[in-house]
Structure 1
């Protein structure tokens, strides 16, 4: 039996509990449970679901690319990607570190997301589009590099799911815990919500 913590990592927060440089927000600002570590990470300028636990074997099962846990992102991109750009993402694009695995991609009409502070920089003459992108890899800044490759840079990136675990119900900085009675089996009924530390 293991305890898994689901955290909504805010924008401009490190996916770790310390900051060697100093001055940046860390996980300790919103969750201070002894001995837990993140299973994977999110970039400083990305938001969304981060999974944490003190179970090293569980961390390995979640984060090891061989297990191909699908990761779902809502991505606000510059411009309006056409079918050619979306099909390229679905088939796999060639980045500096090789060809990506095919992604599942669809347009989102109006996702309900919390306002970001500060908001994205927008150019009045350039529209933006929200996409849902599902990948089974974890390369460095992969989704951002993929959308840039097809000509639509990422303006905002929110991870909304890792496997069956979802961000729903958590505002930025909030977390909840789940008791896992079997490896990799979410138990939403045993979850308890906890607000950010004040």
Structure 2
């Protein structure tokens, strides 16, 4: 018995490499012969099979020397490794509740190819958040300097700060409109 390769896995790997993810490994509890057969031709950077949950955790910790580690899993035996990873992603529909609890992100569809749009949304949302923080702090500091130099009364400073807060919140709300490239292109076409 073996888990089949999830639909869209090959396209996902190509897409992840396009997103700048350099190393992609498969860590599985399946027998080596089964894992090799299922992943043949995928172009993985490594295959670790016959792993117990604690060996998966050790692999995640070892891979940290190469940079941040994202672990994707769906079973109870993946939960410890998901928790140990910098970013743990659980496959939510068929996956075990333990995996969902241990993960940072839960994909609510059982399609691993949705990982790439998730990464794109996360990166764009992070960029918007950083813009909002920098703009908010920058404008607030300018307001404080203006107030310290006597150009703003306390009431004007308070009103200005509220305007800055509202502007930053409105900017952050742009994250609600983020649509991954493939989804946005399909909607436009």
The structure whose Rg is larger is 2
TM-score for the superposition, normalised by structure 1: 0.21
Higher fraction of helix: 2
TM-score for the superposition, normalised by structure 2: 0.22
Higher normalized contact order (CA 8 Å, seq sep 6+, divided by chain length): 1
Higher fraction of strand: 1
